Amino acid sequence: MLAASRSLHPPWWQSAVFYQIYPWSFQDSDNDGIGDLRGIRSRLEYLRGAQHSLGVDAIWLSPIYPSPMHDFGYDVSDYVNIDPRFGTLKDFDDLLEEAHRLGLRVIMDLVLNHTSNQHEWFRESRASRLSTKRNWYCWADGKSFGRRPSNWNARFGGSSWTWDPEARQYYLHSFLKEQPDLNWQNPSVRAAMWDVVRFWLDRGVDGFRLDAINWLGKDTRWPNNPFRFGLRGYTRQHHLYDRDQALAQESMQELRQVVSAYRDAVLIGEAAADTPGGPASFYGEGDDELHLVFDFRLMKSPWCAKSFRLCLSQHVPSIPQGGWPTIVMSNHDQPRHIDRYGAGGDAEARARAAALLLLTMPGTPFLYYGEEVGMRNGKLRYRDLRDPYTKRFWPFRPGRDPARTPMQWDASLHAGFTTSRPWLPLPPDSSQRNVAAEAADPRSLWSLYRKLLELRRMSPALHRGDYRMIEDSPRDCLLYEREARTETGTVERMLVAVNFSQRPCEFAFPSGSSHGLVLVSTNPDAADSTWNPTQIRLGPDEGRLVRLS
């Protein structure tokens, strides 16, 4: 499976490993407690330097544009500039230049569905019904008796409609009221956004992560969404008319045309996990829409072999020829996977086995900053919280701030992130759980990530190979093979075996009797490095990577 991978020289984004940086939290250089671009630049060698670096290929920067930060940058007030908290365009150019010098690609986050209510476009739009920008957003009159134009619910709670006294109409916002939705039916909106795309590509960026794409396009007759019973909040209605319209796909195809003028630029889509047709629906025919689309199903799943098996047997094969899968376990919107997968078990052991899966399953992996040292979700008090969504549902939903705490670099005060008070507090264990301590320890999670990244880079089977799932493995174990022809014409074969249960697991290798060498055991205490195909033994939550001969 994965025929596209047969090419000896696939596009860079198929064999690359991406690393998501949350700019607020990576490195502060001016000691205001907030991360910034110079800070990120000072840490690029860590990500891909000549020595002792982690060894990733690309960084994705969550939004760095000017923003009132109601949604921490996902409310953009100017798409062609840098927020002063993070620096200047010059700082950005310097960062890009240094990243490229190190062989590190840089992709931007592009927020398409909405702008900030402070954006010039919205200010003009709300000023008058006669404004040339009026039609750039979604305005509607109320219904009789002061009712809103429709019953649509916003993703972050409450109605999607807010009355604007200045405009004397309601405007639509699928997220916060400070994030008015653009009207994607208007060709001028699309043209303006494609100008933004060209602005950054001309500056040298390597592509975009596209925010919330399944929300582009609405039924502008504003019909009510049908109700669903038994569920709460946002999921209490079928979102039939306020998202998942065909216009989203059409717009992404148009965008693909725009970027096709730039060799090598990559488009990576973020669609809600429950978008109809799943992420596969945004690959078009495989070569005319998005290059990569996040698949959040592993991010929503508990630690169990079944979900990972489903991913390999159904989700990956559903991607059209020419498209390419993604592997994502954590990001800035969800609790970190060490805690999610770790719930009710040995979180450390599972994080190690998850690293093996992340870096050997077929597809492009996305790491989230700090997962390589096993950063946990911050245990925050209400008064620490900053994200309005997290505050609104606290303490009933885990929220997003706990996964956004500052990067843990070393054992110094504030973990080397800043010398003043960090915008979100660091956990007490940052003096042990940090890059400096783990990089010095060959048994650490960090050292495991580094080793897997290196093996992946060196191994055609792992970074571009076909895969085959081994069906008749025990229920709690997952087994798959990766295979590729190398430049010299030989065939390289790798086997991955992971035990998801808390019991040791022993079984005979199901198909044939290949001999092999264990390259990695995720258990730092595992003794045997030989691979006996007639009798496989995996400890609780242990994974192994084996080179087959």
* Catalytic member of 211, 401, 481, 542: 211
Q: DSSP per residue over 29-46, as a string?
A: SSSSSS--HHHHHHTHHH
In the complex, minimum distance from the CB of residue 160 to ligand GLC, in angstroms, rounded to a whole number: 13
> In terms of Cα–Cα distance, which of 101, 107, 74 is closest to 333?
74
Cis peptide bond prior to 460, omega within 30° of 0: no
Which residue lies nearer to ligand GLC by CB, 111 or 496?
111
Ranked by CB distance to ligand GLC, the top (closest) residue is: 74
Please tell me whether residue 401 binds ligand GLC under the rule CB under 6 A. Answer: no
Separation of alpha carbons 476 and 302, rounded Å: 13
Which residue lies nearer to ligand GLC by CB, 76 or 538?
76
Separation of alpha carbons 65 and 19, rounded Å: 19
* Catalytic member of 181, 270, 387, 438: 270
Close Cβ partners of 25 (under 8 Å, ≥ 6 residues apart): 35, 369, 404, 405, 406, 407, 417, 423, 424
- Say which residue the tokens 């592009």 belong to: 110
Residues 326, 17: contact at Cβ < 8 Å? no
Separation of alpha carbons 498 and 354, rounded Å: 9
Please tell me whether residue 212 binds ligand GLC under the rule CB under 6 A. Answer: yes
Which residue lies nearer to ligand GLC by CB, 333 or 483?
333
Please tell me whether residue 79 binds ligand GLC under the rule CB under 6 A. Answer: no
Which residue lies nearer to ligand GLC by CB, 121 or 303?
121
Known active-site residue 30 = no
In the complex, minimum distance from the CB of residue 175 to ligand GLC, in angstroms, rounded to a whole number: 4
Locate 132 and state its tokens. Answer: 């040339």
Separation of alpha carbons 356 and 522, rounded Å: 7
Which amino acid type is present at position 134? Answer: R
Q: DSSP per residue over 408-462, as a string?
A: --SSSGGGGT-SS--SSPPPGGGGTSSHHHHHT-TTSHHHHHHHHHHHHHH-HHH
Residue window 89-128: x/- pattern of binding to ligand GLC, with contact defined by CB under 6 A = ----------------------x-----------------
Which residue lies nearer to ligand GLC by CB, 266 or 347?
266
Residue list 323-342, contact with ligand GLC (CB under 6 A): 332-333
Residue window 467-506: x/- pattern of binding to ligand GLC, with contact defined by CB under 6 A = ----------------------------------------
Q: Is 257 helix (H, G, I), strand (E, B) or coil?
A: helix
Please tell me whether residue 392 binds ligand GLC under the rule CB under 6 A. Answer: no
In the complex, minimum distance from the CB of residue 295 to ligand GLC, in angstroms, rounded to a whole number: 14
Which residue lies nearer to ligand GLC by CB, 278 or 543?
278
Residues 73, 63: contact at Cβ < 8 Å? yes
Q: DSSP per residue over 116-161, as a string?
A: -TTSHHHHHHHH-TT-TTGGGB-EE--BGGGB-S--PBPTTSSBSE
DSSP collapsed to 3 states, 150-199: CCCECCCCCECEEEECCCCEEEECCCCCCCCEECCCCHHHHHHHHHHHHH
In the complex, minimum distance from the CB of residue 386 to ligand GLC, in angstroms, rounded to a whole number: 13
Residue list 154-193, contact with ligand GLC (CB under 6 A): 175
Count of residues that interact with ligand GLC, criterion CB under 6 A: 9
Separation of alpha carbons 313 and 322, rounded Å: 18
CB atoms under 10 Å from CB of 46, counted, come to 17
In the complex, minimum distance from the CB of residue 72 to ligand GLC, in angstroms, rounded to a whole number: 7
Which amino acid type is present at position 114? Answer: H
Residue list 225-254, contact with ligand GLC (CB under 6 A): none
Which one of residues 18, 19, 74, 369 is an interface residue with ligand GLC (CB under 6 A)?
Answer: 74
Please tell me whether residue 71 binds ligand GLC under the rule CB under 6 A. Answer: yes
Which residue lies nearer to ligand GLC by CB, 34 or 437?
34
Residue 546 pairs in a beta bridge with 495, 518
Which one of residues 178, 211, 244, 541 is an interface residue with ligand GLC (CB under 6 A)?
Answer: 211
In the complex, minimum distance from the CB of residue 214 to ligand GLC, in angstroms, rounded to a whole number: 10
In the complex, minimum distance from the CB of residue 75 to ligand GLC, in angstroms, rounded to a whole number: 7
DSSP state of 515: -
Which residue lies nearer to ligand GLC by CB, 48 or 209?
209
Known active-site residue 166 = no
In the complex, minimum distance from the CB of residue 370 to ligand GLC, in angstroms, rounded to a whole number: 17
Please give the positions annotated as active site.
Answer: 211, 270
Interacting residues with ligand GLC (CB under 6 A): 71, 74, 111, 175, 211-212, 270, 332-333
